[in-house]
Amino acid sequence: MKEFAFLKMLDRFRKVFESFGCDYPVMRKIIQVKLTMDGRRVPTIMNRARARKQSDSSDSNAFLRSLWTYLIMGLILVPIVLINQNAMFSMSIATGILMFLVMTSMISDFSAVLLDIRDRFIIVTKPIDKRTINFARTLHIIYYLMLLTGALAGPSLIAALYAHGLLFFLVYVLEVVLLDLLILVITALLYLLILRFFDGERLKDVINYFQIILSFAVVIGYQLVGRSFSLINMHIEFHEASWQWFVPPFWFGAAFQWLESGKATAQTMGMALVALVIPLGLFFLYIRLMPSFEKQLQKLSAESSRTTSKRYGWMTLLMKLFTSRNQERHFFKFAFLMMARERDFKLKVYPSLGFSAIIPFIVILSPVWSQGIQVLSHGKWYLWIYMSGLVIPTVILMLRNSTQYGGSWVYLATPIKEYSAIYKGTIKAALMRLYLPVFLLQSIVFFILFGWQIIPDLIVVFLSMWLYAVITFRISRKALPFSEPYNLTQQADRWTILPLLFLILVFALVHFLFTFIPYGVDVYALVLLGVNWLVWKYSFRMNANSFRFNQ
Amino acid sequence: MRPEDVAISMRSLKMLYGSKLVLKGIDLEVYRSQIIGYIGPNGAGKSTTIKAILGLITGYIGEIRVFGRNIADGDVGYKRQIGYVPETAEIYDALTPREYLTFVAGLYGISEGQADRKAKALMDLFDLRDAYHARISSFSKGMRQKVMLISSLLHNPDILILDEPLSGLDANSVMVVKDILSELVAQGKTIFYSSHIMEVVEKISNRIVLLRDGQIVADGSMEDLKGQSNESSLEAIFNDITGFHEHKGIAEQFVSIIQEV
């Protein structure tokens, strides 16, 4: 097993740990094993395909290799720290963003560390006292928290040192440490709270949502890094208000306000003090609560007997509306439930889905920003709704994958005659479950912005997307739904997606041209309806040789 | 029996989960050189007993002693005398057997070099020489189980607590493991063997403890149990004592539902 620099650093403090009654060699061994295992795990922020390829050959920590991603994310803080106007404002925002990023990364990637139930069977059954185990676990988390915040806060720390001087820098460092403590405790308390009232499965769902939020934030964050630099010369007025007491980032901002202006109001001083007292206080509480946390963790290993007989009323409704044959309905339901339940699938698809939901708004926002809302009344701005279709190829290609891909033997072991029903049902389910909500949301907003006359256009868009989905399916390599592991063939898929992205522009262009003909849009809608009917009827016909099984 | 021959003793052991009493007062003394077959229906409290002995759960009522020492006295040193194979083969499968086994041995205080030498030799005997440096995540169920067994034995414990230790092993490996267990008992070790496979329990145990609804309902050798019940196989005795006679009826109903189609 590898020697880690972190362990060598700990060796220097051996006496300190031992004075707390901790069995140092054993603690060291536990941390060493944990770090080795982490080296073989892949963090959310990184593309898993790439990470897997690398980590098979080497043992180096994928998390460490992903640190540069956090560094880039950290750049977003640089201009904010550089805002000259108001330290309270800028540093509150900076710490707020930092808190958000650290917290989401912490929950996405280190939950496995906090919640490893194997520890109970492997380590707790051995002659090691609780204190040593708790020390090992806490140090393990602190190690990552240090690296993570180091990378995220690093660029802005340097900027602060350069622009505001040493004292400001030191206060910033202190604040970051306090922030880490706060996050560590909040995360643990969050888990404790969830486990107190729900079971382990629900906790895994919550972690999954945080992973999705983080992935989404990374996508959006990249868009904002460049634009945030225009903030430097912004002029801001900041007014004190008592609600600020309840927003932690303001506590951290207050210390800088105090430092910058030299004098401070009672509220500023109070909040700066709170930033010091609360994290430290909570941390000591956390150490006291560790045993109770352990007790709640028992729930994770206990089989939950909670039965979910959740009825998907609207699923049945959609199914009856859009599918006809029995077999097709059958696979519609199956795919619908798989997409709803499989966490890895959600993690891969939801961030792109969220992005596709907002991208048309981002596009029309900049002309509105510069020329006012009346700019929308002329021009065909609503056609940007086609941008949201970009998610359809991603979704359809992803339908082949599943964590439990081995389960696909059921397709082979059962006498399925119509393979077309499998694909029709699955693709319809994907359109209904994933694309339809996005489309409806955008339609409502566009309806408000552009008025009732765009309704035929929206119908055309919706019909185009159905056609687009079929074309995507025809072009892409065919495999049974949920039958392959993730990242089996991502390289090849990239070349499939590229022409499809151009195709969406073609759809938008054709639509654009029809808008110049009187009643053109209505006619086009009827044409699309007919084409869809033909395509959905005939283009799924295939025999067992049309695709290959990956078993 | 001399008092120092008592490996594990439990006195009126009770455990409450929420409002449910899962153990309703277990009194049991386990002696050296015994293989205890610890059996009972699902939910009878077998795992809870095992977890209590290993200190995985706290808050039980009553007393557990391991070689005369109360395990709740705050000193976890007693765990050094126990080896454990959990039912769900929980293992850090990102590691290789070498890494995992030397780690676990280290937790028992065995030096890396010694652990490595022993682990390697034992892996050899289990026909896993080539897998010693491969990730456990790529292993079959049987291979994992062998690694688990080795990890429970590396520190030469006096008590072995096994929960379905044979699951996933092929017939030849089962023979080897059974012989290892008899050999260990001949050396004065104590084995606490929990399983649902009655044929195996019947064959290897020299004492059988049957648990039902958190209580011991039968305790004795196979001969004793045969005396208590009119049945001859442990499986039948198990059904008899746990009051389960409907198996025939259920089976018939089951088949008739299948044929409905």
| Secondary structure of A449-500 as H, E, C letters | HHCHHHHHHHHHHHHHHHHHHHHHHHHCCCCCCCCECCCCCHHHHHHHHHHH
Closest-CA distance of chain A to residue B200, Å:
25
Please answer yes or no on whether B92 and A33 come within 8 Å at the CB atom.
yes
Going by pLDDT thresholds of 50, 70 and 90, the confidence category of residue A54 is: very low
Put simply, the chain B residues between 144 and 173 with a CB less than 8 A from any chain A CB are: none
Q: Which two tokens stand for residue A430?
A: 């994907």
Residue of A nearest to B105 (CA): A126
Query: Among A36, A118, A129, whose Cβ lies nearest the Cβ of B91?
Result: A118
Give yes or no for residue A232 having a pLDDT over 70: no
Tell me the pLDDT of chain A averaged across its residues: 80
For A59-105, write each residue's pLDDT tens digit: 556 667 677 878 888 888 888 888 766 777 788 888 888 888 888 88
**For range A136-141, the mean pLDDT:** 86
Going by pLDDT thresholds of 50, 70 and 90, the confidence category of residue A55 is: very low
Torsion of CA A481, A487, A489, A490, to 10 degrees: 110
A389/A501 Cα distance (integer angstroms): 9
**B82 to chain A: which residues are within 8 Å by CB?**
125
Q: Which of A408, A416, A398 is nearest to A543 (CA)?
A: A416
Please answer yes or no on whether A37 and B90 come within 8 Å at the CB atom.
no
Characterize the bridge pairing of strands B207-212 and B215-220. Answer: antiparallel
Element of type H or E holding A375: none
In a 10 Å sphere around its CB, with 0-12 CB exposed, 13-18 middle and 19+ buried, how is residue A166 labelled?
exposed
Put simply, the chain B residues between 79 and 138 with a CB less than 8 A from any chain A CB are: 79-80, 82, 84, 86, 88, 90-92, 94-95, 99, 102-104, 106-109, 135
For A269-302, write each residue's pLDDT tens digit: 888 888 889 899 988 888 777 777 766 766 665 5
Amino acid present at B245: H
Q: Is residue B219 within 8 Å of residue B209, measured between CB atoms?
A: yes
**For range A497-513, the mean pLDDT:** 89
B31/B33 Cα distance (integer angstroms): 6
Query: Among A117, A126, A295, whose Cβ lies nearest the Cβ of B107?
Result: A126
For A421-475, write each residue's pLDDT tens digit: 889 999 999 999 999 999 999 999 988 888 888 899 999 999 999 999 999 988 8
Residues linked to residue B69 through DSSP beta bridges, in sequence order? B66
Q: Which two tokens stand for residue A94?
A: 């900076």
Tell me what pLDDT residue A42 has.
58
A-interface mutation test, from B54, B66, B76, most A Cβ less than 10 A away? B76
Tell me what pLDDT residue A125 has.
84
Tell me what pLDDT residue A492 has.
61
Please answer yes or no on whether A125 and B57 come within 8 Å at the CB atom.
no
Please answer yes or no on whether A123 and B91 come within 8 Å at the CB atom.
no
Residues linked to residue A268 through DSSP beta bridges, in sequence order? none
**For range A303-326, the mean pLDDT:** 69
B-interface mutation test, from A4, A119, A125, A303, most B Cβ less than 10 A away? A125
Q: Looking at this predicted complex, what is its ipTM?
A: 0.71
Q: Is residue B184 within 8 Å of residue B28, measured between CB atoms?
A: no
CB-based contact (8 Å) between B37 and chain A?
Answer: no
**B109 to chain A: which residues are within 8 Å by CB?**
127
**A130 to chain B: which residues are within 8 Å by CB?**
76
Tell me what pLDDT residue B116 has.
92
Amino acid present at A269: M
CB-based contact (8 Å) between A41 and chain B?
Answer: yes
Give yes or no for residue A354 having a pLDDT over 70: yes
Please answer yes or no on whether A298 and B57 come within 8 Å at the CB atom.
yes
B-interface mutation test, from A117, A121, A301, most B Cβ less than 10 A away? A121
Q: Is residue A230 within 8 Å of residue A64, measured between CB atoms?
A: no
**For range A15-29, the mean pLDDT:** 88
**A30 to chain B: which residues are within 8 Å by CB?**
107
Please tell me the total number of residues recorded for chain A in this structure.
551
Q: Is residue A2 within 8 Å of residue A30, measured between CB atoms?
A: no
Biggest CA-to-CA distance, chain B: 64
A394/B221 Cα distance (integer angstroms): 64
A315/A321 Cα distance (integer angstroms): 10
CB-based contact (8 Å) between A298 and chain B?
Answer: yes
What distances in angstroms separate CA A45 from CA A79, A110, A348, A423, one per listed residue? 23, 12, 11, 31
DSSP A377-424: GSS-GGGGGGGGGGHHHHHHHHTTB-TTGGGGHHHHHS----HHHHHH
Q: Is residue B85 within 8 Å of residue B148, measured between CB atoms?
A: yes
B62/B250 Cα distance (integer angstroms): 39
* Block residue for tokens 């414990």: B157
**For range A394-413, the mean pLDDT:** 81
B161/A270 Cα distance (integer angstroms): 57
For A160-211, write each residue's pLDDT tens digit: 898 888 888 998 999 999 999 888 888 888 877 877 777 777 777 888 888 7
Tell me what pLDDT residue A228 has.
61
**B91 to chain A: which residues are within 8 Å by CB?**
118, 122
> How many Å separate Cα A286 from the centre of its chain?
27
Q: Is residue B15 within 8 Å of residue B60, measured between CB atoms?
A: yes
Query: Among B57, B82, B107, whose Cβ lies nearest the Cβ of A123?
Result: B107
SS3 state of residue B195 = coil
**For range A334-358, the mean pLDDT:** 85
Q: Which of B237, B176, B230, B172 is nearest to B202 (CA)?
A: B237
Q: Which two tokens stand for residue A483?
A: 């039958």
Give yes or no for residue A420 having a pLDDT over 90: no
Tell me what pLDDT residue A49 has.
44
Q: Reading across the β-sheet that carries B69-70, which strands appear in turn? A: B20-31, B6-17, B61-66, B69-70
The stretches in chain B having pLDDT less than 70 are 1
Going by pLDDT thresholds of 50, 70 and 90, the confidence category of residue A47 is: very low
Residue of B nearest to A2 (CA): B99
Q: Is residue A401 within 8 Å of residue A310, measured between CB atoms?
A: no
Put simply, the chain A residues between 89 and 118 with a CB less than 8 A from any chain B CB are: 117-118
Query: Among A127, A295, A298, whose Cβ lies nearest the Cβ of B76?
Result: A127
Amino acid present at B179: D
Residues linked to residue B38 through DSSP beta bridges, in sequence order? B194, B209
CB-based contact (8 Å) between A306 and chain B?
Answer: no
CB-based contact (8 Å) between A125 and chain B?
Answer: yes
Query: Among B57, B58, B90, whose Cβ lies nearest the Cβ of A121?
Result: B90
Residue of A nearest to B151 (CA): A122
